[in-house]
Amino acid sequence: MSHQSTYRPTGPFTEWLDKRLPVPRLMHDSLVDFPTPRNLNYWYTFGGILTFCLISQIVTGIILAMHYTPHVDYAFESVERIMRDVNFGWLLRYAHAVGASMFFFAVYVHIFRGLYYGSYKAPREVLWMLGVVILLLMMATAFMGYVLPWGQMSFWGATVITNFFTAIPLVGNAITEWLWGGFAVGNATLNRFFSLHYLLPFVIFGVVILHIWALHVPGNNNPTGIDVRGKQDTVPFHPYYTVKDGFALSLFCILFAWYVFFAPNALGHPDNYIPADPLVTPPHIVPEWYFLPFYAILRSIPDKLLGVIAMFGSIAILFVLPWLDRSPVRSLRYRPMTQIFFVGFVVACGVLMYCGGKPAEGVYVLWARLATAYYFAYFLLILPIVGLIETPRKLPDSIAKPVLPAPALAGGTPIGATAAPHTDG
Amino acid sequence: MLKATRTLAILLAAGLGLAAGAAQGAGEAKHPHAPPGGWSFEGMFGHYDKAAVQRGFQIYKEVCAACHGMEYVAIRTLGSPSGPGYSEDEVEAVAAEFRVPAGPDPQTGSLVDDIGLPRLRPALPSDRFTSPYPNDIAARAANGGALPPDLSVIAKAREGGASYIYSLMTGYQEPPPGVTLEAGMHYNPYMAGGQIAMPPQLVPDRVAYEDGTEASVEQMASDIATFLNWAAEPELEFRKKLGFMVISYLAVLSLLVFLAYRRLWRNVGH
Ligand code: HEM
């Protein structure tokens, strides 16, 4: 950890343990006394919310797995049995299905937050890249989870998505058959997807621990994007942010509960209540809402291979983002030009999501193409160029200065000496 | 504070926007509608109208069960107090009216009876509403090639749910000029494609309601749709009651945590 440990063992046992396996010390230093910028706003509460989502998915998922049967002849029926015959089975299943949507909602907010406040920039590149790894793992997990109830969308979604791999030259078909474990999506596919769907969340859990580790080395970024310059800029994580995060989490749970109890199927597709039938293709095969923007990128490109490359590229590009953005200033608060382009970027993502749910015809294709072009231009042209030509607004001297009333400042450590004007973000 | 409110407003809008994003167009079919007065089971305090569910079950039993099974619905659940709410004796009597596959003959091991048809026995409350046909081939053969779908979750498997079933059952009409029907098909604008293999089922007084309600087509359609919604979502009443309690609890919790937050941060500039 990058800060001095303040852990004091509370008794003989913790003292004994501290010399052997200092877990309480680790917990204390990372969750209790961790110095956190005092100006974090509500956009910063989503990290805690995401941890809650992951744990909730794992707990509901493990109990579902006790009653679920991964076989093409029984999967649909076993889910119906969970809904009807398992005590509170409907609650588990709806919490798990809605939970996946909530998880993605939270992760997208979290990512846009990072984009806006420049959290991907030095010294947090590894933290950011670990986040992108988590996003990829979440997508794989949710995709395979959606196959498990073995409804029409499960089957046809799996067929469409696995078919992307046939676009790979030469070895495409071989890879696809290897993924299927046969010549089409079938029982072997369902079995391996269940196995991986059970495994990946625990891999995510591991990467989340690395993600938090990588957070605690440089410490949190904050809405001003400037570095912490001393104690006056921070408050201990507990109780200040445990309470703030707790409040945000409680509100988030209200939204979550509203969907679970009053609109549990609003985010799903009715066709998934029709048992999978390889002989009947649904008129519109649409993925879950959280995949729609990527689906729109895929379909906006007329060539299959290039479409698949663009779709994967739209996420891969996030890995190199820290080196694409040339501006020395982190937070878009102080970058008037980029701010406008950022709004355009959010709109482009919204347009992509909308078009992904519509048939690929007429005006939707045009919109999807424009939005795809903007999506890539934002990373490949706008961020590299604007960073060099834009004049940033004046940065505050320190995190504490714009927020602390004068007497409080005077009481703290003199900060004038350290608050030299800086432009290095 | 103002900023925080703005943040929350944006998040809430985005969260509710999910629903809009997820709603996909249902194709060319006519948009389904609820009967006048709407459904008793909609909204935060939704509950099933027990009499309507019972009348709906009567229609299922006397009309639809001739072609459609409900393989995921156990007959015993007719006793559910948040559904049809029949007494134990009534459930047993109802069960005995249905026939389910009997399995092999204990003596001969044969699966068929004297005339070569699958062996059947009277159902027990623990049985499900099995399909009246021994298999899909037989079902198609009896219905001009079309397969009558299982109705257990039909209310969740169609855009519009109960309103779709209501509209479909009342929506049969003469095909408009220019529309030619395929052989054995019937015009119904609510069905995707406008043509359905199921003949019109509901004509006035198709059933004589046990509770004396007048059996108009709209009445019967609304009752069967209510029943099928119960079949698909038997947990609905409990779910909504629990949801109300959970959200009330969370609202109070949020308020308390918010007050704690305000108090804690009172002297901390941020
Ligand atoms: C990253 C965390 C996870 C995500 C995003 C996720 C996502 C999903 C999704 C989208 C579904 C389909 C829901 C439906 O429409 O029915 C699903 C189903 C399922 N998941 Fe998960 N899941 C996660 C973790 C887990 C874990 C850890 C387990 C087991 C240990 C698990 C077990 C299951 C089972 C058994 C089903 C099939 C039952 C059903 O369809 O409701 N999940 N998951």
Give me the pLDDT at residue A223, please. Answer: 96
What is the C-alpha separation between B69 and B154, in angstroms, rounded? Answer: 11
Computed on alpha carbons and rounded to an integer, the radius of gyration of chain B in Å comes to: 24
CA–CA separation, B123 vs B74, rounded Å? 10
C-alpha pair distances (Å), B76 with each of B88, B120, B148, B185, B225: 8, 19, 24, 36, 20
Has residue B211 got a pLDDT over 70? yes
Q: Minimal Cα–Cα distance from A353 to chain B, Å? A: 7
Q: Do B257 and A247 touch (CB under 8 A)?
A: yes
Which ligand 1 atom lies nearest to the CA of residue A146?
A: 12
Q: How many CB atoms lie within 10 A of CB A15?
A: 11
3-state secondary structure of B195: strand
For the stretch A307-358, pLDDT in tens is 999 999 999 999 999 999 999 999 999 999 999 999 999 999 999 999 999 9
Mean pLDDT, residues A70-95: 98
Q: In terms of CATH architecture, what is A286-390?
A: Orthogonal Bundle (1.10)
For B173-188, write each residue's pLDDT tens digit: 999 999 999 999 999 9
Interior angle at CA A230, CA A227 and CA A236, nearest 5: 95
A205 — phi, psi (to 5°)?
-55, -45
Which residues have C-beta within 8 Å of that of residue A110, sequence separation ≥ 6? A46, A47, A50, A131
The ligand 1 atom nearest the CA atom of A65: 35
Element housing A37 (H / E): strand A35-37
Predicted local distance difference test score (pLDDT) of residue B270: 64
Question: Does the distance separating the beta carbons of A244 and B261 come in below 8 Å?
Answer: yes
Considering only CA atoms, which of B127, B25, B120, B22 is closest in space to residue B74? B127
d(C-alpha B127, C-alpha B122), whole Å = 10
User: Can you give the pLDDT at residue A410?
Assistant: 40
pLDDT digits (tens, 9 = 90+) for B17-60: 554 444 433 346 899 999 999 999 999 999 999 999 999 999 99
* pLDDT tens digits along B80-111: 999 999 999 999 999 999 999 998 999 999 98
CATH 1.20.810.10 fits domain A28-276 = yes
Mean pLDDT value of segment B209-237: 97
- Give alpha helix (H) positions in A325-398: 336-356, 363-377, 383-389
Torsion angle of alpha carbons B233, B237, B242, B248, nearest 10°? 120
Q: Are B155 and B161 in contact (CB under 8 A)?
A: yes
Query: Of the residues A53, A62, A154, A197, which should be mutated to test ligand 1's pocket, given the most ligand atoms within 8 Å of the CB?
Result: A197
Between CA B94 and CA B72 the distance in angstroms is 17
Residue B123: pLDDT over 70: yes
Confidence tier at B6 by pLDDT (50, 70, 90): low
Asked if residue A389 lies in contact with residue A331, where contact means CB atoms within 8 angstroms, the answer is no
DSSP assignment of A254-323 equals HHHHHHHHH-TTTTS-GGGGSBP-TT---SS----GGGHHHHHHHHHSSSHHHHHHHHHHHHHHHHHHHH
The H or E element spanning position A35 is strand A35-37
For atom 18 of ligand 1, which residue has the closest CA? A145
Please calculate the CA angle A111-A114-A115 and round it to the nearest 5 degrees.
90
8 A C-beta contact, residue A68 and residue A79: yes
Chain B residues touching residue A260 (CB < 8 angstroms) = 243
Contact B258 A247 (CB under 8 A): yes
DSSP string of A306-341, one letter each residue = HHHHHHHHHHHHHHHHHHH---S---GGG-HHHHHH
* Total residues found in chain A within this entry: 425
- pLDDT for residue A318: 98
Q: Tell me if A274 sits within 8 A of A151, measured CB to CB.
A: yes
Q: What is the whole-number distance in angstroms between the Cα of residue B237 and the centre of ligand 1?
A: 25
Residue A162 distance to chain B (closest CA, Å) = 22
- From chain A, the residues in CB contact with B159 under 8 A are 270
Indicate which residue's Cα is closest to atom 28 of ligand 1. A61
Residues of chain B neighbouring A117 (CB-CB closer than 8 A): none
Asked if the Cβ–Cβ distance from A244 to B269 is below 8 Å, we say no
Burial of A22 (0-12, 13-18, 19+ CB in 10 A): middle
Which residues partner with B186 through β-bridges? B196
Whole-number pLDDT of residue B29: 86
Contact A354 B27 (CB under 8 A): no
Mutate to test the interface with B, among A254, A288, A295, A351 (most CBs of B within 10 A): A254
Question: Which atom, in ligand 1's list, is nearest to the CA of A97?
Answer: 13
Contact A38 B234 (CB under 8 A): no
Q: Which spans in chain B are helix H?
A: 2-22, 50-62, 88-97, 136-142, 154-157, 161-170, 217-232, 236-265
Query: Per DSSP, what are the bridge partners of residue B129?
Result: B70
Contact at CB, A257 and B251, closer than 8 angstroms: no
Q: CA–CA separation, B247 vs A257, rounded Å? A: 7
In this predicted model, what pLDDT tens digit does every residue of A169-208 receive, in sequence order? 999 999 999 999 999 999 999 999 999 999 999 999 999 9
The closest alpha carbon to A395, from A300, A323, A325, A328, belongs to A328
The residue whose CA has the least distance to atom 6 of ligand 1 is A142
Residue having the nearest C-alpha atom to atom 27 of ligand 1: A58
Contacts of B129 in chain A (CB under 8 A): none
- B206 CA: distance to closest CA in chain A (Å): 29
Which residue lies with its CA nearest to atom 35 of ligand 1? A65
* Secondary structure of residue B196 in the 3-state scheme: strand
Task: Please state the rounded mean pLDDT for residues A269-281.
Answer: 97
Check residue A3 and report its DSSP letter.
S
Q: Chain A: give the shortest CA distance to residue B208, in Å.
A: 31
The pLDDT of residue B4: 59
Topology of the domain covering B25-69+131-232: Cytochrome Bc1 Complex; Chain D, domain 2 (1.10.760)
CA of A290 to the centre of ligand 1 (A): 15
Give nearest CA residue, ligand 1 atom 41.
Answer: A93
Cβ-nearest to A254 among B240, B244, B250: B250
What sections of A124-186 are H helices per DSSP?
A: 125-147, 152-163, 172-180
Question: Where along chain A do its domains lie?
Answer: 28-276, 286-390
**Vertex A177, ends A171 and A179: CA angle to 5°?**
100
Close Cβ partners of A265 (under 8 Å, ≥ 6 residues apart): B156
CB contact under 8 A, B254 and A77: no
What integer best gives the mean pLDDT of chain A? 93
If you count residue pairs, one on A and one on B, with CB atoms under 8 Å apart, how many are there? 129
* Residue listed under structure tokens 């995707």: B192
Cα–Cα distance for residue pair B269/A213, rounded to 1 Å? 28
0.80 exceeded by pTM? yes
Mutate which of A74, A93, A96, A102 for ligand 1 pocket (most atoms within 8 A of beta carbon): A96
* DSSP 8-state class, residue B30: P
One fold for A28-276 and A286-390: no
Lowest-pLDDT choice from A38-42, A216-220, A415-419, B163-167: A415-419
Instruction: Please give the residue that has the higher pLDDT: either A149 or B7.
Output: A149
- Contact at 8 Å (CB) between B142 and B68? no
> pLDDT value at position A4?
80
A400: DSSP letter: S
Which residues on A lie below 8 Å from B152 (Cβ)? 80
Candidates B245, B247, B263, partner chain A, best to mutate (most A CBs within 10 A) = B247
Q: Which of A59, A103, A148 to mutate to test the pocket of ligand 1 (most atoms within 8 A of CB)?
A: A148
A403 vs B158: CB contact, 8 Å cut-off?
A: no
Show me where the domains of chain B are located. Answer: 25-69+131-232, 235-263
pLDDT at A417 over 50: no
Q: Element (H or E) spanning A94, and its range?
A: helix A89-117
Alpha-carbon gap, residue A323 to B12, rounded angstroms: 33
Instruction: Give the C-alpha separation, A339 to A323, whole Å.
Output: 19
Q: What is the pLDDT of residue B19?
A: 44
Q: What is the pLDDT of residue B2?
A: 54
Distance from CA of B31 to the nearest CA of A (A): 15
Query: Probe ligand 1: pick from A59, A64, A91, A269, max atoms within 8 Å of CB?
Result: A64
Interchain proximity A255–B254, CB inside 8 Å: no
The secondary element (H helix, E strand) that includes residue B121 is strand B120-122
Residue B7 has pLDDT above 80, yes or no: no
Ligand 1 binding pocket (C-beta < 6 A) is A 54, 57-58, 61-62, 64-65, 68, 79, 93, 96-97, 100, 103, 138, 141-142, 145-146, 148-149, 197-198, 201, 204, 268
Ligand 1 centroid to Cα of residue B63, in Å, is 38
**pLDDT beyond 50 at A418:** no
Amino acid at B262: R
CB-based contact A400 B3, cutoff 8 Å: no
Q: What pLDDT score does B103 carry?
A: 87
